[in-house]
Structure 1
Amino acid sequence: MIPLISTGLGWPAVGLADRYRTTQHDFGGVGLLQTPSARMAPEGGFSFNANRTSPYSRYSISVQPLPWLEANIRYIAITNRKYGEAIAGDQSYKDKAIDAKFRLWQESYWLPQIALGFRDMGGTGLFSSEFVVANKRFYDLDLSLGLAWGYIGNRGDVSNPLAEIGLRDEGRAGSTGEVGGEFNTSAFFSGPVGIFGGVEYQTPWDRLRLKAELDGNDYKSEPQANNQDQDSSVNLAAVFRLSQGIDLTAGWERGNTAMFGISFSTNLKSGPLPPKVLDPAPEPRRALPAGVTASQVDWQDVSNRLHDNAGFAVEEIAIKDREVIVTGNQTTYREEAKGLGRASRVLDNSLGEGSYDWYTLVNKPRGMETSESSIRPDRLRALEENRLTLEQMRRATVMATPSIVSKDVVHSETLDKFDIGLSLGYNQNVGGPDGFILYQFLARVSSEYRFSRNQWVHGSVGADLINNFDKFKYDAPSKLPRVRTNVREYLTSSDIVLEHLQYTQTQRIGSDLYAMGYAGVLESMFGGVGGELLLRPHGSDWAIGVDANWVRQRGFRQDFSFRDYSTWTGHMTGYLQTDIYDVLARGSVGRYLAGDYGATLELSRRFNNGIIVGAWATRTDVPSEDFGEGSFDKGIYFTFPFDAFFARSSKSYGSIAWNPLTRDGGARLSRFYQLYDMTETRNTDRFNRGFGQLMK
């Protein structure tokens, strides 16, 4: 009967993998209601969750960057407690937190899945907890059982075994204090231990999931003396899948309180990209003439087609013996191999069979040769006719560092000197005492004038469209030079702002060495002069860069005025592309904008579809009490390729960063260009991963 009902409502049946999908718990992350489970979302899983269980409203983002790692960021509005009149008047108290869960053992036929987790590990510690939990599935029943220290286990069902052997205290310290932000490792696994667990039942109706759990918390030790009555330690809920990626949850918790929630989920790794229906189709094969000479070719037509069909902006085309060398820059396709395959067909259609043995594309972004890829046209035709495998084709394709060779230039393209465009801009301040989200939408005009291919001026002007910054009243206290905490003044002082106006010059000064110099209005709060050097061997997993800058603080109206504060800032940065799930590690040491010295560690995971998930943390010589709330600078970010949303290919990206607090310690200059990003085509591993796009 159930399948008939589903069909009658027009709801498609779901596969087994979706039927046993993971669901989110109240705090964000895979679990039941108040408690987590050992389950992990699929690799690349991403969820935004919102729910209400009086007196708490919770908002969280959960992401699965690695198969064995779940990470969460969360805001909790404690609606019956205030920030305080001196700070925010009647605004409710907002607590910020970061969680992590690690899979220790994957479920087998006989053994359960086991995970170790930390809740509120880097926030104020109001809801901090550590737990070990196991899960075992029996068809449609998924059972969980765990032990928790801290908030999840506040009922204290058993004594702490670590305390009995002297490794931890019987009691547990409260929050990490007003400053917060530190990893309060001294409190980890201390205090009494609570037992929690439950069952998740997938009903015969694929869209309905039922949950029941034994809560390990008795709500007698709630943060800020906000204790709650608990009539029952059993919580119940139903999860209804409204549509693909949207879950609605209704529950009954503490035996006396209703819970309502919604989760939006997608997959950053395997989520479908829109078909590129607005891209031109690869050039169809033409009858190939033989014996075509360079003088018989309409090179301007070839250049135009390379740009329009292969996305390759040509600088020059040259001949060396039986090799055609095209120098320029890929402007359209994220996967270099896709542009290479399309360009080779354009050249083949123009030059004919047997005229040349190699086609070479030299990548020269911003006037810097970074790499060259060479392909044999006869092998490409063999691949198209299924006489060659893709793996054999890759072995016949050469990736190398560009070299200076004697060649005959047959065509040079005139530099397109000026660009201008209109886009939508967005600014925000999240989780502050003046309001959960303070936002601004801008109309942005960006333009660029090129003196040469490696010398240009870029600028952008933003005009306010709509905002709620009238609520933005609070300036956080600071014991350091106010290099970032003046954010309110910068966001509210003018409706039209000069966001960026910078002269930049680049140069390749050695086989593996690149340089960049720049001057002007460098970002929203600082202008000045600076430079960067980058050593990046072709095809290597590592690179080293150094930047140095003298900057002066801009006026609040973001025009051409400047304030009195100026400083030197700069860093030495090491880059390592690891073999661990394609994680890029960046480590920097140097001087920050407030004059403090320290280091930043940044880790990011790039999925094959171009989406990047990253996190950073900065520690400097500023003591936690001087840094202020948060203790040290940290945050996460997501970078999305624009063609993940549109029907046309693009190399453009947009980023969304989450920084729990804006403070002055550990503040870095927000440089508009980075040599590491500009030399990305030296990454042969990325070329190899995208080689399957050669025939697209």
Structure 2
Amino acid sequence: MSRPVLGLLALGVCAGVHGQTLSSQSDWGGVGLMQTPSARMAEPGELAFTATHTSPYSRYNVSMQPFSWLEGTFRYMNVTSLNYGPEGLSGDQHYKDKSIDVKLRLWRESRWLPEVALGIRDLGGTGLFSGEYLVASKRFGPVDVSFGAATGYLGNRGDFGNPLGALDDRFETRPSPSSSVVNAGKFGLGSMFRGRVGMFGGIAWQTPWERLELKLEYDGNDYRHEPRNIRIRQSSPINIGAVLTAHPNVQFSLGWERGNEAMVGITLRTNLDQAISMAKPLDPPAVAPRERDATAEGTAAAGARADGGSAPGFHRDAADKAHAERERNLQALAGTDWEAVADLLHDNAGFNVEQIQLRGSELLVTGAQGRYFYPAKGLGRSARILDHAAGPNVEWFTLVNTTFGMPMAEASIHRGKFADYLEGRIGLDDLTRNVELNPPSRQRRDVLYQAPLDRFDHDLALGFGQTIGGPDAFFLYQVSADYAASYFFSRSLWLSGAASANLLNNYDKFRYDAPSNLPRVRTDLRRYLTTADVTFPNLQLTGVRQLSRDVYGMAYAGMLEYMYGGVGGEVLYRPFGERWALGLEANWVKQRGFRQNASFRDYEVATGHATLYYQLGEDPRIRATVSAGRYLAGDWGATFNLARVFDNGAIMGAYFTMTDVSSEQFGEGSFDKGIYFSVPFELFLPRSTRARSTVLWNPLTRDGGARLGRKYHLYDLTDERDRSFFFENIDRIDE
């Protein structure tokens, strides 16, 4: 389950942000003045939560800056003068409006030209507060001046007619936003850039006291045409405000808006790209380098493999590798306590050893990294341990990384060059030329140690789930005790399960079942969450196998998620070192009973997708995913997912799904969509871990475009084949 947004941001404050250029958020989220945006952008990786109140509106915004030229914001707006619905449905809860904004920078500021951005508010929301704008910003020392023009809500003052009316008369008038839930969630392309144009602008002054910024703006909205006939009086279009930066990650805002209303706000912020892992006092210290003797010095001086410097896996059985040399190497290692070495690799390097082997002058350790998020860190710690254990004839150390017994990649490091690096004789660039990541090879090896299979694994943790923005209450939550366990019949075949016991929730308020024109494949959410206090969300048998060098397969059966059980399989083709991969999954599933036990309901469906994964560029690195197939409600379509992947492993992304279900059949929201970010716990915990938290904002739970929530995905299981991530973090090899 995802952690709450606020919790992650609070932890992000502790993660450390260095070199960050501060910029303040507007009342609506996103960099700007107060009611109006500017052309400015935050630093790439910025994540900000802003809460503001100006009667009758309270706004809760989360803004993300995945790229230097793109800003995205999603928002809940609480309208205190309107009820959510009839009293029998929502009691006295206020109306909640959901919306998404985007802002694109068209060009950067230069000596003579301003920075210019194009933005759209309430894209894919109800359209009640929708608007489009073009804004320019120019800096004059400590003063930043912005000036823009807008259609829609932001330009409701309507200072002049729409120039686009010369191209088409339709641009002269703007359709009134619809309050129909059927239309809510559409992109609203037919209304964009239509209607009269209102001007807006202002200045932001960075005072001599660096913690204080003052703002003065001219609002482009006259508040005479508020949606839902909300009555607001504006005494003046001039707004004034101040932003106090109490901490680089915390800002407070105060203002006087519309000439008659106070504004208060707070912003919590962090930068996922610039976040640096906090110190790890709970990690064991790395093993000290071995004192080098004359033999080791000679090995280091070689600087290349004995077989001519070829990569791991090439020319291993060359004729000049005499049998006598092989026997000599084995004899030199015969007295080593490899079981003790395997235990130390587990305890200090986080590497769960399966086998230790010798291949010529190369010592190979096969297993899985279970602790260190950055592969280079695990390789460096392992190399320190192996340097103490190996004889003088071993020149290379290789970790054969596996996932559930499937070989993924071989990470190799030259023994002597690593010792030179630790002693300061060479730099990181020289070391990097002696570190390799290659596909698994099948050459002959001599087995020195075979580890027994650890068959049982288990974990007990607190779980947290939430539902936001519904008519019963703005925030519904549940705290649970979650127990997960796995039993391994072999390294590639295991039974896994989970049990969850309710500890605390406010689900007594959860009474609303969303209407649906489709099979209820997801909208029975309330009944799944409230029927039983002890549930069994997952119990499945899973088997995986490497089918060829670049092809992996998986089969599974059982209770696959809390709503569905059945059988299925997946095949993934992921060529080593390539930017792309292809996957295919097929499933037959049946809907589970509301108590999440062994019972089933009548609904069943065959569902599956073909998926293309593609990485665009290196800096920035963008992961694009397109999945096409059949969804749980029997609808056919495709899901498009675009994510920015930062060097430290943090991710920002968005997705949407379009199927053959009409917007009328889908209901409120019109189609499935969401925004998410994912953060490695490595960044803000005092102990290394490979775990991460993903926060997904999905405005509504509907039945169209719904996918099976499988526990394992082959693309995620094959992450060790990611060369980019390995070498982007090669500097962690000596931690």
User: Shorter-normalised TM-score: what interval?
Assistant: over 0.9
Q: How does 1:315-334 map to 2 (within 5 A)?
A: 315-334=354-373
Alignment match, 1:513: 551
Distance across 1 between alignment mates of 2:169 and 2:635: 36
- Which residue of 246, 268, 281 maps to 1:242? 246
Distance across 1 between alignment mates of 2:638 and 2:503: 38
Are 1:677 and 2:677 matched, yes or no?
no
Are 1:359 and 2:407 matched, yes or no?
no
Alignment match, 2:76: 75
Structure 1 stretch displaced more, 620-629 or 281-290: 281-290
Structure 1 stretch displaced more, 500-509 or 199-208: 199-208
Offset at 1:319? Answer: 1.1
Alignment match, 2:534: 496
Alignment match, 1:370: 408
Q: Give the secondary-structure state (helix, strand or coil) at the position aligned to 2:137.
A: strand
Q: Deviations over 1:162-214 (max 9, x none)?
A: 11232752110122542211111121111000000001112222222111100
Distance across 1 between alignment mates of 2:628 and 2:89: 35
Q: How does 1:199-598 map to 2 (within 5 A)?
A: 199-288=203-292, 293-352=332-391, 354-579=392-617, 581-598=620-637
Q: Give structure 2 stretches of 5+ with no counterpart.
A: 1-16, 296-328
Offset at 1:388? Answer: 2.6
> Residue 662 of structure 1 aligns to which amino acid in structure 2?
T
Q: Deviations over 1:40-74 (max 9, x none)?
A: 11111111111111111111101111111100000
Q: Deviations over 1:639-679 (max 9, x none)?
A: 22122231111111222211000000000000100100100
Distance across 1 between alignment mates of 2:231 and 2:133: 22
Alignment match, 2:311: none
> Residue 242 of structure 1 aligns to which amino acid in structure 2?
A
Are 1:26 and 2:30 matched, yes or no?
no
Are 1:56 and 2:57 matched, yes or no?
yes
Structure 1 stretch displaced more, 234-243 or 191-200: 234-243
Q: Give the secondary-structure state (helix, strand or coil) at the position aligned to 1:626.
A: helix
- Which residue of 658, 664, 668 maps to 2:697? 658
Distance across 1 between alignment mates of 2:19 and 2:112: 20
Q: Do the aligned partners of 1:288 and 1:348 also contact (CA within 8 Å) in 2?
A: no
Q: Deviations over 1:561-605 (max 9, x none)?
A: 111111111000000011061111110000000000000001112
Alignment match, 1:3: none
> Residue 308 of structure 1 aligns to which amino acid in structure 2?
D
Q: Give the secondary-structure state (helix, strand or coil) at the position aligned to 2:92.
A: strand
> Residue 493 of structure 1 aligns to which amino acid in structure 2?
T
Q: Structure 1 residues 221 and 82, CA, compared in 2 at 3 Å: closer, same or farther?
A: same
Q: How does 1:170-185 map to 2 (within 5 A)?
A: 170-176=172-178, 177-179=180-182, 180-185=184-189
Q: Deviations over 1:378-434 (max 9, x none)?
A: 121222233333222222222211121111101011111111211111111111111
Q: Do the aligned partners of 2:272 and 2:679 also contact (CA within 8 Å) in 1?
A: no
Q: Structure 1 residues 301 and 470, CA, compared in 2 at 3 Å: closer, same or farther?
A: same
Alignment match, 1:114: 116
Choose between structure 1 and 2 for higher RCO, CA contacts under 8 A separated by at least 6 residues.
Answer: 2
Q: Deviations over 1:148-167 (max 9, x none)?
A: 11000000112111112327
Distance across 2 between alignment mates of 1:533 and 1:436: 41
Distance across 1 between alignment mates of 2:81 and 2:419: 71
Q: Do the aligned partners of 1:376 and 1:396 also contact (CA within 8 Å) in 2?
A: yes
Report the number of matched residues: 680
Q: Do the aligned partners of 1:178 and 1:629 also contact (CA within 8 Å) in 2?
A: yes
**Structure 1 outlier segments of 4+, above 3 Å:** 15-18, 287-292
> Residue 467 of structure 1 aligns to which amino acid in structure 2?
N
Offset at 1:692? Answer: 1.2
Q: Give the secondary-structure state (helix, strand or coil) at the position aligned to 2:526.
A: helix
Q: Give the secondary-structure state (helix, strand or coil) at the position aligned to 1:345.
A: helix
Q: Do the aligned partners of 2:373 and 2:682 also contact (CA within 8 Å) in 1?
A: no
Q: Do the aligned partners of 1:288 and 1:349 also contact (CA within 8 Å) in 2?
A: no
Q: Give the secondary-structure state (helix, strand or coil) at the position aligned to 1:90.
A: coil
Distance across 2 between alignment mates of 1:271 and 1:387: 30
Distance across 1 between alignment mates of 2:232 and 2:31: 25
Q: How does 1:624-639 map to 2 (within 5 A)?
A: 624-639=663-678
Offset at 1:21? Answer: 2.0
Alignment match, 2:12: none
Distance across 1 between alignment mates of 2:257 and 2:418: 64
Structure 1 stretch displaced more, 159-168 or 523-532: 159-168
Distance across 1 between alignment mates of 2:205 and 2:170: 37
- Which residue of 93, 96, 99 maps to 2:95? 93
Identity %: 50
Structure 1 stretch displaced more, 335-344 or 477-486: 335-344
Distance across 2 between alignment mates of 1:181 and 1:361: 49
Distance across 1 between alignment mates of 2:594 and 2:388: 57
Alignment match, 1:688: 727
- Which residue of 103, 106, 111 maps to 1:104? 106
Alignment match, 1:141: 143
Offset at 1:367? Answer: 1.0
TM-score when normalising by structure 1: 0.95
Are 1:613 and 2:652 matched, yes or no?
yes
Alignment match, 2:14: none
> Residue 98 of structure 2 aligns to which amino acid in structure 1?
K
Distance across 1 between alignment mates of 2:358 and 2:458: 34
Q: Do the aligned partners of 1:344 and 1:359 also contact (CA within 8 Å) in 2?
A: yes
Distance across 2 between alignment mates of 1:342 and 1:89: 59
Offset at 1:280? Answer: 1.7
Q: Give structure 1 stretches of 5+ with no counterpart.
A: 1-14
Structure 1 stretch displaced more, 569-578 or 176-185: 176-185
Alignment match, 1:43: 44
Distance across 2 between alignment mates of 1:131 and 1:666: 32
Q: Give the secondary-structure state (helix, strand or coil) at the position aligned to 2:109.
A: coil
TM-score when normalising by structure 2: 0.90
Q: Deviations over 1:440-485 (max 9, x none)?
A: 1111111111111111111111111111111111111000000100
Q: Do the aligned partners of 1:44 and 1:63 also contact (CA within 8 Å) in 2?
A: yes
Q: Deviations over 1:79-112 (max 9, x none)?
A: 1112221642322111000000011111122221
Q: Give the secondary-structure state (helix, strand or coil) at the position aligned to 1:293.
A: helix
Distance across 2 between alignment mates of 1:101 and 1:597: 31
Q: Deviations over 1:485-526 (max 9, x none)?
A: 000111111111111111110000101000001111111111
- Which residue of 630, 647, 650 maps to 2:686? 647
Q: Do the aligned partners of 2:648 and 2:729 also contact (CA within 8 Å) in 1?
A: no
Distance across 2 between alignment mates of 1:273 and 1:249: 30
Offset at 1:371? Answer: 0.6
Q: Give the secondary-structure state (helix, strand or coil) at the position aligned to 1:340.
A: helix
Q: Do the aligned partners of 1:168 and 1:189 also contact (CA within 8 Å) in 2?
A: no
Alignment match, 1:11: none
